[in-house]
A = this chain, B = another copy of it.
Amino acid sequence: MYSVNVRDHFMIAHSFRGEAFGPAQRMHGATYVVDLEFRREALDADGMVVDIARATEVLHTVLAELNLRNLDEDPAFAGQNTTTEFLAKVIFDRIATRAAVGELGPHAQGLRSMRVRLNESHVAWAAYEGKL
């Protein structure tokens, strides 16, 4: 199995609801350094897992929808705690949708699975992985 990973980041504000979150119920924020990993069984005709330039661009586009915003005001997340693991899945789904309509290029249909990891500090990260 081959894999390729590209990295970018975004910075947001949000707050959580529920006693389990303690002081994180207050409005606060985070920098998320995002690792986007694609996996496939065999390389494409160009000897690549994915066109890295396109993957980098799609990742940047998806993160731009979230970057420098207050997620509490985003209707897409109404009634949701935007935990790191939840956001990993949101980004996974949005990239999967763009992959499905061809934004990663013609060879990307060979991709098997994908992993999105959000590094939120030097001591914590969360991820979501699934099939494509």
Contact = CB atoms under 8 A, between A and B. Distances in A.
A27 to B, nearest CB: 4
A60 B52 CA distance: 18
Contact of A70 (B27, B73, B86, B105): B27
A123 interface: yes
Interface of A: 1-9, 11-14, 18, 20-24, 26-33, 43, 46-49, 51-53, 56, 67-70, 73, 80-81, 83-86, 88-89, 105, 120-130
A75 to B, nearest CB: 16
Q: Most chain-B Cβ atoms within 10 A of its Cβ — which of A43, A68, A69?
A: A68
A21 B24 CA distance: 26
Given A1-B129, A49-B126, 10 more contacts: A4-B127, A5-B126, A13-B28, A13-B70, A14-B29, A20-B46, A23-B68, A26-B68, A43-B86, A46-B81
